[in-house]
Structure 1
């Protein structure tokens, strides 16, 4: 029994490297998950670069650390040019050619163009294309339909209870004082999809933020455990 404490320390010392290896594998898997996710390209590309680094686990650890590659990639998301590109991508994805052909075409043209082209679309092009689509829909009396009361009630329910803040905002805007049937129709045409896309993007980023912090904290704890064994 006298040797029990020493034996326990020896077992702990043997287990710590194994735990470190498991933590490193989990961290690498998290970076791989981000690389393969639906997060913005800046984050995915940065994650792939970390995975391909010749520094191995050290590169993964540095990427997850505060101020590392993940945080730097998130900072790039706030760059105006990046924000403009993401806006154009979101519009092209949520404004279908069937409901908003002018907006969809303008967004795709901007994506194929230059940074100034995308900036122009964000500042004025989107609104102008929206107006052209509205005019076409207003003139198409053959296919014009009144928004039923039950559809307004459904939008009102989303405005009050949808778990996504962006969807609630879009629904509330569709029912704002002075809004018409066209506003409700536009909510079903693209407002709902746009809000849901923004909510999903925010959810994915929050998960990535939490997992990044968790893996970094685990690395620090294991490092302290290794230091204590020395």
Structure 2
């Protein structure tokens, strides 16, 4: 794989899996350009490349507010949180100042409070609560694979909590914690992958240069050059191994999460006559799909880093056994 091919692969990963819409859009623009390999190298260039620029735009206050509103739309169903849902839908297309007021000026908290009163007045969620629900949420607080879901569950059953806290968890807290876990997983893995890619790309360039020099030098100096080239390719293998191992761990974790959410979906479907569990069905289906995508992201990168390990082994063998 050439530096351009390596860059193109990484940019494709950002285009498919980044949690930031600005990064996805700019990554696809690079891939669809007249020279995608050159554009991919430029996109990943640091400092000042397209990835850095798109990420900074994503971290812009208003972009962060839009991302928050989109998350609310994904995790607050209109049937159970009508005030938050309608407000998020409205402010997503409003002015930046109105978005800021809603997200950070008390608007969201007020809408959330109105929804809690709506559910309390409706009464069906509270009436449907049983002790088994509380035990289940306590189990999630202790054992769920997702840190954000554990946090949301622990808050719902904390000392001094009320039935409103528990119905809030079923109505939106569970889904929101799940969404944050999905986003956190992708952000962490892509951030670490960027560092591994920076290292491996330079190691491959060095190894290819060392191999070229070894082929051009004769005699005793040539033997020393070949030894250096073997060592350079070995560094490539050493550099690729931790990345492959971490992606294998990520793949296994994503598989565990997908299975967990499939089980939650089945449980919610079986208890669909209970309004609390009915509220979980769509978020559970979505979250299972998200973790299936995360498993694909991880599996693709396991295969990618294995290919670089094989490239390193092939390089060593070419030098040790020249044709």
Q: CA deviation at 1:189?
A: 0.8
CA contact (8 A) 2:126 2:163 kept: no
Distance 1:189 1:78 in 2: 28
1:61–1:216 Cα contact (<8 Å) kept: no
CA distance in 2, matches of 1:133, 1:98: 10
User: Which residue number in structure 1 is paired with residue 28 of structure 2?
Assistant: 48
**Distance between the aligned counterparts of 1:43 and 1:70, measured in 2?**
7
Offset of 1:106 from its aligned partner? 0.5
What 5-or-longer segments of structure 2 have no aligned partner? 214-323
Query: CA contact under 8 A between 1:64 and 1:216: conserved in structure 2?
Result: no
Q: Is the 8 A contact 1:36 1:44 kept in 2?
A: yes
Please tell me whether the aligned partners of residues 28 and 57 of structure 1 are also in contact (alpha carbons under 8 angstroms): yes
Tell me which of 142, 146, 155 is aligned to 1:173. 155
The structure showing larger relative contact order (alpha-carbon pairs under 8 Å, at least 6 residues apart) is 1
Q: Distance in 1 between matches of 2:85 and 2:73?
A: 5
Aligned pairs (5 A) from 1:215-230: 215-228=197-210, 229-230=212-213
What's the RMSD between the two structures over aligned residues? Answer: 2.0
When structure 1 is superposed on structure 2, of 179-188 and 137-146 the one drifting more is: 137-146
1:77 paired with 2:58, answer: yes
SS state of the match for residue 176, structure 1? coil
Q: SS where residue 17 of structure 2 aligns?
A: coil
TM (norm. structure 2) is 0.60
- Superposition deviation, residue 54 in structure 1: 4.3
Structure 1 residue ranges without an equivalent (≥5): 1-18
**TM-score of the aligned structures, taking structure 1 as reference length:** 0.82
- Deviation for aligned residue 1:131: 1.5
Alignment of 1:22-171 (within 5 A): 24-37=4-17, 39-67=19-47, 68-123=49-104, 124-141=106-123, 144-171=126-153
Aligned counterparts of 1:100 and 1:38: Cα–Cα separation in 2: 28
**Paired residues, what number?**
210
Cα deviation, 1:173-223, whole Å, max 9, x if unaligned, reads 111222111111110111010011011001111222233233332221122
Structure 1 runs (4+) greater than 4 angstroms displaced: none
Cα distance in 2 for partners of 1:165, 1:155 equals 14
CA displacement, residues 66-86 of structure 1 (integer Å, 9 cap, x when unaligned): 433223333333221111111
1:63-106 residue CA offsets vs partner (Å, 9 max, x unmatched): 23443322333333322111111111111110000110111000
SS in 2 for 1:36: helix
- C-alpha separation in 1, matches of 2:95 and 2:174: 29
Shift of 1:143: 6.2
CA contact (8 A) 1:65 1:216 kept: no
Work out the CA distance in 1 between the residues paired with 2:123 and 2:154: 27
